[in-house]
C-alpha cells in the first residue's frame, strides 16, 4: 500500500492498522438485511460488500429504498433483520472512520468555511486529535477540493457547487475509510455536477477511501463507479450488478460507456415493470 500518498501526517500507521483488520469479506459487509417502516417493507434480503478503496454506486428509481439502505449501512438506522459489519466489527452506530454527504451541504451559516469543514471533528465519538493536526487536515482537505484561499469565506458567499465542496472537505477531514454519498450532486447544474463527479473520484483515490454513492443517474454511476448495484423491486432488493472496467477518464471511451448505459437502462426499465406489476 502506498500509505505515503495519503494527505495528512500520521496516516501510515492508521492505514496499516485498518488494512490488518481487512478480511476477504471487505471493508463493509451487509448480510440478509431487511428494513420496514412500520408495516411497510422497504427492502428485504439485501446482502452486499464494499471493498477498501472501491467506489460502488447504488442505482435505482426514486422511492426504491436507496437512501434507507444507505442509512442502514451507515449505522444511522438499525435493520429489522440482518447485520452490517464495518472494519470487521458489527456496526451499531455511525463509525468514526465513515463520513456522509447529502444532496444539500447543510453548512452552518454562522461558521466560516474552515470551521464548517472542521465541524464534527471534535465530537465525542471522534478520535481525539491535536488542534494543529486538525487544522492541517482541514486545510489540506479544503485545498484538495479547490477551496484554498476561501477558508475565511461565509457560506452565504458560496455557490451551490462550492458549498458541496465544503461538505466534501468536511467528510475528507475525518479521513474516512468509507464515504457515504446520497445523491450529492443532484441539486447542481450539469457542468458543476460533472466537475464534482470528477473531483469526487480524484479525492477519494488520493485519500484511499471507498465510496457508496447513491444515485438515480445512470451516467453518474458509470462515470464514477468501479461497480454498480441496481436496486429495485417491491420490497426492494439488489437486482443486478456490473463491474465497470472502462478505463478512466471514462469520457474518453464513449463507445464502451454507451454500451454499458444501454444495458443498465434495459435492466432499470425491467425494475419499473416489476415494481408496478400487480399494483393498482
Ligand atoms: N421516515 C419514513 N417513514 C415512512 N416511510 C418512509 C420514510 N422514509 C422513506 N419512506 C418510504 O420508504 C421508501 C423508500 O424511500 P427512500 O429510501 O427514501 O427511497 P429512495 O432513496 O430510493 O428514493 C419509500 O416508499 C418512502 O416513501
Ligand atoms: Mg433517496
Express each pLDDT in 146-198 by its tens digit: 999 999 999 999 999 999 999 999 999 999 999 999 999 999 999 999 999 99
Ligand nearest to the CA of 60: 1
Confidence band, pLDDT 50/70/90 cuts, at residue 124: low
36, part of any domain: no
Share of the chain above pLDDT 90, in %: 80
Three-state DSSP at 81 gives strand
Looking at the CA of residue 61, tell me the nearest atom of ligand 1: 22
Surrounding ion ligand 2 within 5 Å at CB are: 67
Pinpoint the alpha helices (H) of the chain.
11-21, 66-73, 113-118, 131-144, 160-172, 190-207, 218-224, 254-276
Position 241 in a domain: yes
Atom of ligand 1 nearest to the CA of 231: 22
Q: Are residues 278 and 216 in the same domain?
A: yes
Alpha-carbon distance 165 to 145, whole Å? 6
Helices 160-172 and 190-207, packing angle to 10 deg: 10
Measured in angstroms, how far is the CA atom of residue 226 from the centroid of ligand 2? 21
11 within a domain of the structure (yes/no): no
Total tally of structural domains belonging to the chain: 2
Q: Which of 126, 152, 175 is the last residue of a domain?
A: 175
Q: How confident is the model at residue 19 (pLDDT cuts 50, 70, 90)?
A: very low
Q: Is the CB of 186 under 6 A from ligand 1?
A: no
Cα of 142 vs centre of ligand 1, distance in Å, is 33
Contact status, residue 146 vs residue 127, Cβ threshold 8 Å: no
| Residue whose CB lies within 8 A of the most ligand 1 atoms, among 68, 214, 271, for a mutation test | 68
- Tell me how far the alpha carbon of residue 256 lies from the centroid of ligand 1, in angstroms: 34
Ligand 1 pocket check for 9: Cβ under 6 Å: no
CATH number, position 89: 3.40.50.300
For residues 178 and 86, is the Cβ–Cβ distance under 8 A?
Answer: yes
Residues 61 and 140 reside in one and the same domain: no
- Distance, in Å, from the CA atom of 105 to the CA atom of 102, rounded to the nearest integer, reads 6
Question: Does residue 64 line the site of ligand 1, with CB under 6 A?
Answer: yes
Instruction: Write out the residue range of the structural domain in which residue 165 sits.
Output: 108-175
CA dist 226 and 26 (Å) reads 15
Among 215, 200, 237, smallest CA distance to 57 is for: 215
Residues 72 and 185 in one domain: yes
How long is the chain? Answer: 280
Centroid of chain to Cα 86: 14
Give pLDDT tens digits for 53-96.
Answer: 999 999 999 999 999 999 999 999 999 999 999 999 999 999 99
Amino acid at each position: 500500500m502506498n500509505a505515503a500518498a495519503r494527505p495528512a501526517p500520521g496516516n501510515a500507521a492508521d492505514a496499516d492498522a485498518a488494512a490488518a483488520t481487512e478480511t476477504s469479506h471487505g471493508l463493509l459487509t451487509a448480510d440478509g438485511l431487511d428494513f420496514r417502516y412500520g408495516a411497510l417493507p422497504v427492502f428485504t434480503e439485501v446482502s452486499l460488500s464494499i471493498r477498501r478503496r472501491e467506489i460502488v454506486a447504488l442505482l435505482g428509481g426514486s422511492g426504491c429504498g436507496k437512501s434507507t439502505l444507505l442509512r442502514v449501512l451507515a449505522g444511522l438506522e438499525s435493520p429489522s433483520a440482518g447485520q452490517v459489519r464495518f472494519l470487521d466489527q458489527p456496526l451499531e452506530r455511525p463509525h468514526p472512520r465513515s463520513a456522509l454527504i447529502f444532496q444539500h451541504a447543510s453548512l452552518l451559516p454562522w461558521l466560516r468555511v474552515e470551521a464548517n469543514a472542521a465541524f464534527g471533528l471534535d465530537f465525542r465519538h471522534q478520535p481525539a486529535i491535536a488542534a494543529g493536526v486538525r487544522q492541517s487536515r482541514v486545510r489540506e482537505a479544503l485545498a484538495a477540493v479547490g477551496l484554498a484561499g476561501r477558508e475565511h469565506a461565509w457560506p452565504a458567499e458560496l455557490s451551490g457547487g462550492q458549498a458541496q465542496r465544503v461538505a466534501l472537505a468536511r467528510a475528507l477531514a475525518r479521513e474516512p475509510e468509507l464515504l457515504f454519498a446520497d445523491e450529492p450532486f443532484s441539486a447542481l447544474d450539469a457542468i458543476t455536477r460533472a466537475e464534482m463527479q470528477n473531483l469526487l473520484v480524484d479525492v477519494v483515490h488520493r485519500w484511499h477511501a471507498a465510496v457508496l454513492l447513491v444515485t438515480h443517474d445512470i451516467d453518474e454511476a458509470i462515470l464514477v463507479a468501479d461497480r454498480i448495484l441496481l436496486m429495485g423491486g417491491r420490497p426492494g432488493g439488489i437486482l443486478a450488478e456490473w463491474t465497470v472496467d472502462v478505463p478512466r477518464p471514462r469520457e474518453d471511451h464513449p463507445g464502451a460507456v454507451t454500451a454499458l448505459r444501454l444495458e443498465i437502462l434495459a435492466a432499470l426499465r425491467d425494475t419499473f415493470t416489476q415494481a408496478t406489476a400487480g399494483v393498482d
